[in-house]
Structure 1
Amino acid sequence: MDLTSLLSTYGYLALFIGTFLEGETILIIAGFAAYNGHMSLPLAILVAFVGSFAGDQTAFYVGRYNKKFLETRLKKWECRIEKVHRLLEKHQVLVLISFRFFYGFRNVTPFAVGTSNISPLRFFCLNGIGAAIWAVSFGVGGYYLGDVLERFLQDAKWYVAGGLLGILAAFWIIKTVRSRLRKSRC
């Protein structure tokens, strides 16, 4: 089975599962696949929206109805949950629409919101708006990234492309390590 048939058979399911759990990377890849004609960009964006929205709604209700789970199992998130609560006091609408765009708060925010006094209907509406903005942004971003990479790779030598990808990977690793160190300090 080649990549094209894998993407057409399992691509949307993988995209749904990936965006249900987190999803930036898989959505960018789906946008890139859409650029190359392996997926439909509008359908990929729709699937990503549904996956992200459903995942965050699920996390909200886990936070709402299973606070003991959060208190006992997720002690490592305690500091971030407190930060989310402080942000919600000052910028509730902005936080609820934009949390997907902030690394480190993407996964914890819906759980934290579930432990707050924000109504399920309010979260439902703002979560939908945020999921739509996020899905369109990253889906279209991945699509145009495909265009940029294709143009770049047509003009560049493979060793230059490999070197640049290596440098990008090194920066990403350094950023990830620094972020994790900061999180452990809270």
Structure 2
Amino acid sequence: MGGSALGVWHDRPGEGQSLRIAALQRSSLFLTPGLVHVHLHHAFHGSPIGYAGLAAAAAASWIGVPGPGEPVLIAAGLLAARHKLDIASVVLVAFAAAAAGGTVGWFIGMKAGRALLSAPGPLHRLRLRALDRGDEVFKRYVAVAVIVAPTWIAGIHRVRPAVYLPLNVLGAVVWAVGIGLGAYFAGPPIEDAVSDLGWVITVGLVLLVLAAVWLELRRRLRRRGMTPPGAADGSTSKILPPPGG
């Protein structure tokens, strides 16, 4: 019986390996959720509100709302430098939200923006000429125009999805990595330098304010004819003629 078992084993050289692979696959069903949980817990350490705020600001900025994206991403990079957030997670969240927001902004511009600009009403001809000029720019320099212009403008000028979506992803990568890592590496030294020079800046600002107040008071006194005595004597003195002249 033992010899026949060995014979069967040698007759099927791949059976043992396939059994080991099947066992590993079955065990991975139990190990994978735990490993994923551990990885996510490690990668996304920090306040969930911070990541949610970053995602909302990045998405809003790339949809077309001016302002919130860059300052919030810089703040997130600084918090990551202080080990309150994870820099890889900051960059990933910023990229994903920016790419999604850019897609939404492009879609809004394509569906509503062009119809709104071409609708009859005030400055109709001027708006149509602006659309024609924009179409020409996007035809000639589509890559630069998509990266530089707001996302909804690309939708207004009907940039095709096959062209826009890859450029949108590329722009989101450059934006998230450039600003996020820039704040992470360059922010703390700049912040330390500013904090070290804080008292110098404060004294300088106080002196500037005092100088501005003094100059303003002097200007008003001169306008009212109430200049200081020395200045008044010099400005109103007359040359008297010599005696007998």
2:110 corresponds to:
64
2:169 corresponds to:
128
Percent identical across equivalent pairs?
24
Match of 2:57 among 18, 25, 31: 18
1:28 corresponds to:
74
1:89 corresponds to:
139
* Residues paired across the two proteins, number: 145
Match of 2:199 among 125, 146, 159: 159
CA 1:83–1:133 in structure 2 vs 1: closer, same or farther (change >3 Å)? farther
Displacement of 1:49 in angstroms is 0.6
Counterpart Cα distance in 2 of 1:151 and 1:21: 31
Greater Rg, structure 1 or structure 2?
A: 2
Per mean C-alpha deviation after superposition, the further-off stretch among 52-61 and 113-122 is: 113-122
Counterpart Cα distance in 2 of 1:69 and 1:163: 53
Kept in 2, the 8 Å contact 1:63–1:70? The answer is no
CA 1:43–1:120 in structure 2 vs 1: closer, same or farther (change >3 Å)? same
CA 1:16–1:120 in structure 2 vs 1: closer, same or farther (change >3 Å)? same
One-letter amino acid matched to 2:95: F
2:91 corresponds to:
45
CA 1:141–1:68 in structure 2 vs 1: closer, same or farther (change >3 Å)? same
Q: TM-score, normalised by structure 2?
A: 0.51
Gapped regions of structure 1 (runs ≥ 5): 1-6, 100-104, 166-186
One-letter amino acid matched to 1:32: L
One-letter amino acid matched to 2:115: K
Q: TM-score, normalised by structure 1?
A: 0.66
2:158 corresponds to:
117
Gapped regions of structure 2 (runs ≥ 5): 1-45, 62-68, 206-245
Displacement of 1:86 in angstroms is 4.8
